[in-house]
Amino acid sequence: MTLSSAAPVGTAAVSTQLREPSTRDEIYVAGQWRQGSGAVIESVDPATGDVFATLHSATPGDVGTAVEGGLAAAAQSKWADQLPHERAAVLYRIGNAIDAHATEISALQTRNTGKTLTETRALASSAAATFRYIAAALETMEDEITPARGNYLSMSIHEPIGVIGAITPWNSPIASEAQKVAPALAAGNAVVSKPPVWAPWISLYLARLCDEAGLPRGLFSVLPGPGRTVGDALARHPKIGKITFTGGTSTGRTLGHVAADKIIPVTLELGGKSPTVVFADADMDQALAGVLYGIFSSSGQSCIAGSRVFIERAVYSEFVDRLVSAANELRVGPGTDPGTQVAPLITHSHRDHVASMVDEARSEGAVVLAGGYAPGGDLADGAYYRPTILAGLSNSARICQEEVFGPVAVVLPFEDEDDLVRQANDSVFGLAAGIWTGDYRKAWRTARRIDAGTVWINTYKQFSISTPFSGTKESGLGTEKGRDGIRSYMRQKSIYLDLSGQPIPWSR
Ligand code: NAD
């Protein structure tokens, strides 16, 4: 399907035929829907343990087809030469298509990842908003005429890179993809996406919505499959001009090496072990609600989970007592139940990994104040784990230094601001932090002193697509979101245009 330059913007342009998100056994390679020839992925509903779909994955051989197909589609549709408002019109329609199908997207995503419907609905809305924001940013992006030092016009312009390899994790499908795919397409590139084995369906559905919205076929391929084969082949393909990755720090490090070998740009959004700080002068009700949400929403499977809770000594006992009571009252259940606060984890094996980290912390002397076990009864078949609070450890314990990616918080006392900053920054990560205090000067000082890409003050886990997101230290490299997000998928070029009409004097 090619892009009509006068394509209208709005839901009216989106067909409503595509009602049900498909779990057809098909991958999307260079504009063709077809069965993959790789190993079969079994998708299991984490709430029940039942297999609900199977998918033949892509193979490394599909990578070349997708990359060449992306280049051909870009050339044929003149995607990079479309005027910004023309590309933006397609992006608006993709955003509107996501919104129009948000209920179905949310239901499928809850089935695939276990997340609550409230959360998956929010992820769909966020993805739709990302496409629309990026479209608006694209329409208003400007190149620069730079101050000249001679009789010429000097300009700094931006051009697409070519084909982008986008590799994403399982914890927030559609939102993570949108964060990469929207700006990469906006910039005039083709995109080959490698979604995670545990959650491939929504990425494939996004490709169907892109088709519906009039994105030239072949410009966006989706190759679900194992990271070590398909992901690796994608990153290493000689015609991939940029790698954009969200996932764990060790995978990010591997991809950083690949990018270095190829001398191509890379964006890495990686893991975290974020401190949440409760000062004695905080509004305790507000802090309690924020700390609970920060660690236990998404069942703790969030890069920015506030997993190290630092509490000022003067209120430590009181706050921990309240936190433990509140954690014990959290409702664990299936994501489809509107009353559920803590849904199952992504898979049973991931739940077992979380449980093993808690067991190891126990053997290192952790006191389990809440949770620390998988619930039985009606929930026995699902990948559930009770919200867990550990105490009695120092910040150097393994569970305080390594990401658990589950509903596990460690509570740690601190004496004063200096002690807090020292402990909070004693981590290889630097993704996010939360500060709860009634003193805005203290909040400002602490926010400036903590190593983190994002700091929330008296709130947590709030996001705006217009606000840049990045990690420091081993939490990442490069920035996503914000107006400059599109630029990160472009290369800069300088052009000097003579205005004199005279030969350069030297040659005379
Ligand atoms: P992961 O690193 O195991 O996998 C992420 C993606 O990389 C998957 O698609 C996987 O198949 C692929 N992959 C794995 N090995 C690869 C290789 N050698 N070459 C190419 N691709 C490869 O991470 P995960 O378990 O899927 O996700 C959880 C992690 O993601 C956590 O560490 C979390 O903190 C992080 N995360 C970070 C952010 C952020 O914005 N900073 C957001 C969400 C998740």
**Confidence at residue 10, expressed as pLDDT on a 0 to 100 scale:** 36
**Ligand 1 lined by 274 (C-beta under 6 Å):** no
Write the pLDDT tens digit of every residue in 146-200: 999 999 999 999 999 999 999 999 999 999 999 999 999 999 999 999 999 999 9
**Averaged pLDDT, 90-103:** 97
What type of residue is 50? D
What type of residue is 342? V
**Ligand 1 lined by 45 (C-beta under 6 Å):** no
Residue 21 has pLDDT above 70, yes or no: no
Q: Atom 20 of ligand 1 has which residue's CA nearest to it?
A: 231
The answer to whether residues 69 and 126 belong to one domain is: yes
**Ligand 1 lined by 246 (C-beta under 6 Å):** yes
331, part of any domain? yes
Taking the centre of ligand 1 as the mean of its atom positions, its distance from the CA of residue 170, in whole angstroms, is 8
227, part of any domain? yes
99, part of any domain? yes
CATH number at residue 310: 3.40.309.10
The answer to whether residues 105 and 92 belong to one domain is: yes
Distance CA 131, CA 56 (A): 29
198-219 CB burial, b ≥16 within 10 A, e <16: bbbbbbbbbbbbbbbbbbbbbb
Q: Atom 9 of ligand 1 has which residue's CA nearest to it?
A: 196
The answer to whether residues 308 and 219 belong to one domain is: no
51, part of any domain? yes
**Confidence at residue 82, expressed as pLDDT on a 0 to 100 scale:** 97
Write the pLDDT tens digit of every residue in 109-132: 999 999 999 999 999 999 999 999
The answer to whether residues 300 and 264 belong to one domain is: no
CATH number at residue 163: 3.40.605.10
Distance CA 173, CA 2 (A): 27
Q: Atom 13 of ligand 1 has which residue's CA nearest to it?
A: 227
**Confidence at residue 20, expressed as pLDDT on a 0 to 100 scale:** 54
Residue 99 has pLDDT above 50, yes or no: yes
Q: How far, CA to CA in Å, does 85 sit from each of 13, 182, 480? A: 16, 14, 22
> What's the DSSP call for residue 496?
E
Other beta carbons less than 10 A from residue 139's beta carbon: 17
Distance CA 210, CA 221 (A): 10
Q: How far, CA to CA in Å, does 98 sit from each of 35, 134, 193, 227, 336? A: 24, 14, 18, 26, 20
Crossing angle for the helix pair 102-113 and 117-140, to the nearest 10 degrees: 120
Q: Please count the structural domains in the chain.
A: 2
CB 192, CB 165: distance < 8 Å: yes
Distance CA 328, CA 335 (A): 18
**Averaged pLDDT, 254-280:** 98
**Confidence at residue 217, expressed as pLDDT on a 0 to 100 scale:** 98
Kindly indicate the confidence band of residue 9, based on its pLDDT and cuts at 50, 70 and 90.
Answer: very low
What type of residue is 2? T
**Averaged pLDDT, 202-218:** 97
CB 358, CB 408: distance < 8 Å: yes
Question: Residues 217, 219, 225, 229: is their CA dihedral positive or negative?
Answer: positive
**Averaged pLDDT, 203-208:** 96
Residue 141 has pLDDT above 50, yes or no: yes
The answer to whether residues 265 and 322 belong to one domain is: no
Distance CA 414, CA 49 (A): 42
The answer to whether residues 227 and 194 belong to one domain is: yes
Q: Evaluate if pTM is beyond 0.85.
A: yes
* Phi, psi torsion values for 208, nearest 5 degrees: -65, -40
Per-residue tokens: 266: 């890379």
**Confidence at residue 231, expressed as pLDDT on a 0 to 100 scale:** 98
Question: Which of 167, 222, 401 to mutate to test ligand 1, by most ligand atoms within 8 A of the CB atom?
Answer: 167
393, part of any domain? yes
Atom of ligand 1 at shortest distance to CA of 170? 26
**Averaged pLDDT, 36-52:** 97
3, part of any domain? no
**Ligand 1 lined by 170 (C-beta under 6 Å):** yes
Q: Atom 37 of ligand 1 has which residue's CA nearest to it?
A: 270
The answer to whether residues 46 and 195 belong to one domain is: yes
Q: What is the DSSP string of 239-303?
A: TEEEEEEES-HHHHHHHHHHHHHHT--EEEE-----EEEE-TTS-HHHHHHHHHHHHHGGGG-ST
155, part of any domain? yes
Taking the centre of ligand 1 as the mean of its atom positions, its distance from the CA of residue 171, in whole angstroms, is 9
Q: How far, CA to CA in Å, does 153 sit from each of 141, 148, 249, 496? A: 20, 6, 44, 6
Per-residue tokens: 267: 């964006």
The answer to whether residues 265 and 286 belong to one domain is: no
487, part of any domain? yes
The answer to whether residues 75 and 169 belong to one domain is: yes
- High-pLDDT (> 90) share of the chain, %: 95
Distance CA 100, CA 108 (A): 15
SS3 183: helix
Residue 350 neighbours by CB under 8 Å, 6+ apart: 301, 383, 405, 406
CB 404, CB 414: distance < 8 Å: no
Q: What is the DSSP string of 129-181?
A: HHHHHHHHHHHH---EEEPPSSSEEEEEEEEE-SEEEEE--SSSTTHHHHHHH
Which H helix or E strand runs over 127? helix 117-140
Atom of ligand 1 at shortest distance to CA of 272? 34
Average pLDDT score over the chain: 95
Taking the centre of ligand 1 as the mean of its atom positions, its distance from the CA of residue 248, in whole angstroms, is 4
The answer to whether residues 481 and 439 belong to one domain is: no
Catalytic residues, by residue number, are: 269
The answer to whether residues 266 and 280 belong to one domain is: no
Distance CA 365, CA 360 (A): 9
Expressed as residue numbers, the domain containing 213 is 27-270+475-493
Write the pLDDT tens digit of every residue in 320-342: 999 999 999 999 999 999 999 99
The answer to whether residues 253 and 281 belong to one domain is: no
